[in-house]
Amino acid sequence: MGIVRGLLGRLDRTGIEPLAWKAPTPPPEPPDPAPEFDDLERWPVPGTSGPEDVAVDHDGRVVTGTVDGAVWRFDRPGLVTRIADTGGRPLGIEVLGDGRYLVCDAERGLLRVDDRGRVETLTDSAAGRPLVACNNAAVTSDGVVYFTDSSARFTIPEHRLDLLEHRGTGRLIRFDPITGDTDVLADGLQFANGVGLASDESFVIVAETGNYSILRVDLGGPTPGRVSVWADNLPGIPDNIASQTEGGVLWVALYSPRMRLLDLMAPYPSLRLLAANLPERLQPDPEQRAWVLGFDGDGTIIRNARGPAGSYSPVTGVREAHGLLHLGSLSADAVARMPVPNAARLPTPGTHV
């Protein structure tokens, strides 16, 4: 295997250096699609695609950003306004207390945007390192921002390479808007992704996409700064997270169900190096199926809604407001919304799709 890996290394076009690891056996999936997806609405974004995240502002309007750098606001279904252009690739979006928007721009860093089109860079580095893949954020009641830099080696368009390499170079970062200072709360994360706050702001959670897990970082109490596993061995690939709702739910978007081939390749760096150098059409491809999970504050799944094959996907953003779940997608041409699932739909032990 070492000889094979050496030969592949000389032919490598990606620069990845995969590490061996063992993926956990996936848990059972729900046996049937959730009925809420029967009532799913789609709101197209004009002439573009990739509304990766969604936020709902103080007036109930949906805000998103697309692949062309635009930030959009839906005043109502069918009425959408292009309110700003970041000049980069907007991903995670949060509504600030003053009505402006916080944008995690994959190319430009952490931004503040208003509906007059003004774009301000808050930071494009942390702890002396530039932001390579600014991804998602959560904001406290006093304006402190917790956000992710997914990888130190690969940009967002190269996310597959980071997952195949599995070296863990992502970060969870805190930004103080008063001082402009940043500090790193957690490093060495496997593609750090979604961020969510507990309703009492006692802890923050962060998705490790490459580990199918979610970490918890304590912000107060007797163990501030402690990092622990909050939920692991998820049935899908976690993406963005929405902070805890008044009803106690922390929503997590799943990019797709787990990919069996990717898990099988985990212990074999040479196979992953080979996969990274294949044409994209031949690389492991995720199943196109919408999926969102809702957790309580202890990391227990209390909502589990999965769409049918070919449904709105990949779901990368989720936000609850006014009895509806608003969904975003890295590559779709529309945002979507559907009724909030009322209860978890957990499969019978031993049942698999």
Q: Each residue's pLDDT tens digit in the chain (353 positions)?
A: 454 455 455 568 899 999 999 999 999 888 889 999 999 999 999 999 999 999 999 999 999 999 999 999 999 888 999 999 999 999 999 999 999 999 999 999 999 999 999 999 999 999 999 999 999 999 999 999 999 999 999 999 999 999 999 999 999 999 999 999 999 999 999 999 999 999 999 999 999 999 999 999 999 889 999 999 999 999 999 999 999 998 999 999 999 999 999 999 999 999 999 999 998 888 778 899 999 999 999 999 999 999 999 999 999 999 999 999 999 999 999 999 999 997 776 664 433 33
Per-residue pLDDT, 352: 34
Q: Which residues of 205-222 are buried (b: 16+ CB within 10 A; e: fewer)?
A: bbbbbbbbbbbbbbbeee
Per-residue pLDDT, 6: 53
Contact 126, 149 (CB under 8 A): yes
Per-residue pLDDT, 8: 52
Size (the chain), residues: 353
Percent helix, strand and coil across the chain, each rounded to 5? 15, 40, 45
Eight-class DSSP state of 14: S
Per-residue pLDDT, 9: 54
Sort strands 324-329 and 315-321 into parallel, antiparallel or unpaired: antiparallel
Eight-class DSSP state of 211: G
Q: Which residues of 117-149 are buried (b: 16+ CB within 10 A; e: fewer)?
A: eebeebbeebeeeebbbbbbbbbeeeebbbbbb
Neighbouring-strand partners of residue 241:
252
Environment class of residue 200 by beta-carbon count within 10 Å: exposed (0-12), middle (13-18) or buried (19+)?
Answer: exposed
Q: Where are the alpha helices (DSSP H) in the chain?
A: 2-11, 159-165, 260-265, 269-277
Per-residue pLDDT, 31: 84
Per-residue pLDDT, 148: 98
- Calpha distance 298→171 (Å, rounded): 23
